[in-house]
Structure 1
Amino acid sequence: MSASHLAVWGDPIAHSRSPQLHGAAYALLGLDWSFERVRVAEDRFDAVLAGLDASWRGLAVTMPLKERAWNAAGWRDRRAELTGAVNTLLLPGADVPRPVGAPADAPVGFNTDVGGIVAALADEGITRIGSLRLVGAGATSASALVAAAELGAGRVAIVARRAERARPLIDIAERLGITATAESFGGPHAATDLTIAALPGGAELPDPHAAALARDGGPLFDVAYHPWPSQLATHWTGERAIAGFGMLLHQAVLQVRIFTTGSVDQPLENEDDVRAEMRSAVMGD
């Protein structure tokens, strides 16, 4: 029997829109698959994963489990290797082709957040940048950094509360051939082509810090999308502020590709219709 169970794991997880997104996609594709939310504590990840049977096809993984998922994967795509984060696991029970070199008996790991950011920015007409201001230094910031490299960025300024938090991102930038510097929230900040904010949900900055980031910051892409506008977006008066829903949508489309075809690069049949149905399931438009 084909594996038909999927879920999104995280802690917390009640806020996740993944069930609506994935459920809409599989209904349109005529697939009788289940997709649920499961709260999994970080220290329980390995045990819960080991307890899954062959009816499980794959997992979407959110914070704080992306590093755990990276460690669990027997093969990882390039974006996952670069970021040290996996947000998608294709499990051994899935009856789809596996990447060349991937073991048959271990999860296969992908990072679809990078592609989600690239596609969301393309929707806004942003397909090339020379410089980036990256606000935050967590796992999503690593994905934003790799996305910036794919858009051609040669310079990145990483704005973090503590300089040591930026060190892993600077290491990634060096591997990508990008010149990276660490800056404090208080500035000063040099002018940039684009700002990506990847702060934890609900994080707010002192108004002077937010205003300093907005000054010569180019367009803002904020991974936050609910509630909108974010606190940082309210300061972005000279340039447009872009909510992160597009990232959520596009990375989920890439996950659906993986779960149905085994490949992040294989477009879905009627993918435009699938994407529209997924958007409507969450946004109601």
Structure 2
Amino acid sequence: MLGDPIAHSLSPVLHRAGYAELGLDWTYDAHRVPAGGLAAFLSGLDDSWRGLSLTMPLKREALDLVDRLTDRARTAGAVNTLLLDADGERVGDNTDLPGAVAAIRERTSLPLASAAILGGGATATSVGLALVDLGVTSVELLVRDEARAGETVAALRAHPSGVDVRVGPLAVAEPLAADVVVSTIPADAQTGDLVARCADVPVVFEALYDPWPTPLAASATDRVLVGGLDLLVHQAVLQFELFTGRPAPLGAMRAAGAQALAGRSTA
């Protein structure tokens, strides 16, 4: 697992639990790699490596460092899974998009036509595209800096369904009117006013899992809540299968993640 910051990542816990469940003698570790450092890290790998999981700020940096992109990585404009083939080919994939679809449908079968997304980075892109695949036709991106959301807006508007995408400031005062609200912003950016504006949205998708619960997640006691652990587990299951070629033990991986999070909350 590569990224910066990385110490909080549960990915090693999930993947190691999967390896243990299937009796695989594999290793999975976290490495802090800051922006601009991915190329140097890749140059130091030998043929014992099967793949890498990438988090921010490397998901878009990886686009120019692979030999081939899968269709979903190209659509998302981000790589969260980098496969290292035996012949040396680097393949960039994205399991966040299908992982988000699986996470949402595990929690709700409600029809979803409109979405409000807080934040405009790579995670907002992947979850937004997943929602469009599930039938959302209108997306409102609420961001602190509209200029930095350009890649997400372009990716969503390029979807063949012709989704309507609007961009607005995160700090507006009006209540959100949508079928689902997705938060990809830090917990400390979830002010009381912002959480209150989301109160009437029936489905809440909180992409964070640490700290947990975030203010938005804590407010969703009587609504459908899709959590960051749901997203993490489902995208990790897909990564596991790409890395190993074996069906992933979803139950064991989820249980390990939940146990680790519970330990953090009581520490």
TM score, norm. by length of structure 2: 0.89
1:20 CA displacement? 1.2
1:218 CA displacement? 2.3
Which position in structure 2 is the counterpart of 1:12?
5
Structure 1 distance, partners of 2:190, 2:20, is 41
Q: Is 1:278 aligned with 2:253?
A: yes
Seen in structure 2, the aligned counterparts of structure 1 residues 172 and 187 have a Cα distance that, compared at 3 Å, is: farther
CA contact (8 A) 1:74 1:107 kept: yes
Aligned with 1:184 (options 169, 173, 187)? 169
Residue-pair matches, total: 257
Structure 1 distance, partners of 2:80, 2:190, is 27
Q: For each residue in 1:33-86, what CA deviation from the matched residue of structure 2 results, as whole angstroms up to 9, or x when unmatched?
A: 111111112222101101111111111111111112222121112221012110
Q: State the SS of the aligned residue for 1:66.
A: coil
Q: For each residue in 1:226-277, what CA deviation from the matched residue of structure 2 results, as whole angstroms up to 9, or x when unmatched?
A: 232202223446634332111000100000111122xxxxxx44x4xx1111
Which position in structure 1 is the counterpart of 2:226?
242
1:188 CA displacement? 2.7
Seen in structure 2, the aligned counterparts of structure 1 residues 156 and 189 have a Cα distance that, compared at 3 Å, is: farther
Matches within 5 A, 1:18-37: 18-37=11-30
Q: State the SS of the aligned residue for 2:50.
A: strand
Q: Is 1:47 aligned with 2:32?
A: no
Which position in structure 1 is the counterpart of 2:236?
252
CA contact (8 A) 1:121 1:127 kept: no
Aligned with 1:218 (options 187, 202, 220)? 202
State the Cα RMSD in Å. 1.9
Structure 2 distance, partners of 1:128, 1:151, is 8
Which position in structure 2 is the counterpart of 1:77?
70
Letter of the structure 1 residue corresponding to residue 183 of structure 2: A
Structure 2: gaps (5+ residues):
263-267
Letter of the structure 1 residue corresponding to residue 227 of structure 2: A
Sequence identity (%)? 37
Matches within 5 A, 1:151-190: 151-176=134-159, 177-185=162-170, 186-189=172-175
Structure 1 distance, partners of 2:89, 2:217, is 42
Q: Is 1:199 aligned with 2:185?
A: yes
1:281 CA displacement? 1.6
Letter of the structure 1 residue corresponding to residue 99 of structure 2: G
Which position in structure 2 is the counterpart of 1:143?
126
CA contact (8 A) 2:97 2:127 kept: yes
Structure 1 distance, partners of 2:163, 2:173, is 21
Q: State the SS of the aligned residue for 2:188.
A: coil
Q: State the SS of the aligned residue for 2:196.
A: helix
Regions of 4+ moved over 4 Å: none
Which position in structure 2 is the counterpart of 1:100?
none
Structure 1 distance, partners of 2:14, 2:167, is 36
Seen in structure 2, the aligned counterparts of structure 1 residues 82 and 127 have a Cα distance that, compared at 3 Å, is: farther
1:190 CA displacement? 5.1
1:164 CA displacement? 2.4
Structure 1: gaps (5+ residues):
1-7, 94-103, 262-267
Structure 2 distance, partners of 1:42, 1:18, is 19
TM score, norm. by length of structure 1: 0.84
Seen in structure 2, the aligned counterparts of structure 1 residues 74 and 189 have a Cα distance that, compared at 3 Å, is: farther
